Every structure is written in C-alpha cells, then in structure tokens.
Amino acid sequence: MRTETQVIASVRPENNVFFEQGSSDIDEAGKATLRLHAERLKANRKTRVTLVGHAESFGSRAMSIAIADMRVSMVYAQLRAYGVPPRQLLRANVGIEKNSKACQSPECRHLMRRVELRYAKGR
C-alpha cells in the first residue's frame, strides 16, 4: 500500500477536476481546467480522453460509485458544453480510490474527490 505522501505526489492537478465532499458541482477552477482540456481535444480530433471518477472512502461502496458517476457526468456535460464531441470522451468509475485508506489528512482526502482526465499514451 502506498503512503499518503506517495498518493499526494501521484495526483497531477492539471489533469484533474476536484470536488467538495458529497458534491458534484464544478467550481471555477475546475471549469478553467476543463476549458484548457476542451481546447486541446478540439485541436486534436483523434485524441480521446477517459474521464475517471474517484471518491474517498466515506460511506458505502455503492454511494462512492454513485457520487463518482455523478461527477463524471458533470465533467462530461461541461466538456460537451465547451464543444468537445462525444466520440472523444470515454467514461470510467473507480469509486472508492484504492489508495484512500492511506489518506488521513484533509489535503489528501480532497485529492481523492476528483475526476481524472486520462489520455491514451502517446497523446
């Protein structure tokens, strides 16, 4: 199992949209991140991105998967609103982050509440 420090170091903020606990609302920082990704995707029409929903380990597994799915749906909708075609967007849910048990600090728990934009290798 990874340590909290390793978990924090592995999350690249520029490829993630972060959420408040129990929320699927995208804040202004998240919208700015998504605008940049939308421009990248529109400029490279063959590029595809997978939207990976993560959640921290509060509540049941089913609840975590549901909130991760709602967050992915919100990010998907925002990218579509910025003009990204649906064929470039894939969806996946992790639900409870496998490393979430290593996270005890508020900073680390915040990093678990995210949608990661994961591009195919070489893109």
Q: What phi and psi values does residue 95 have, to the nearest 5 degrees?
A: 75, -125
Task: Look at the block and give the residue holding tokens 């991140």.
Answer: 33
The per-residue pLDDT for range 9-52, each reduced to its tens digit, is 888 889 999 999 889 999 999 999 999 999 999 999 999 999 99
Six-digit token string for 62 = 């089913």
Task: Look at the block and give the residue holding tokens 């992790």.
Answer: 94
Counting the structural domains of the chain, the total is 1
Q: Which residues contact 120 (CB under 8 A, 6 or more apart)?
A: 47, 48
The per-residue pLDDT for range 42-93, each reduced to its tens digit, is 999 999 999 999 887 767 778 888 899 999 999 999 999 999 999 999 998 7
Give the Cβ contact number of residue 121 at 10 Å: 5
- Domain CATH for 50: 3.30.1330.60
Consecutive H or E run containing 78? helix 61-81
For the whole model, what pTM was predicted?
0.89
Full domain range(s) for residue 71:
4-119
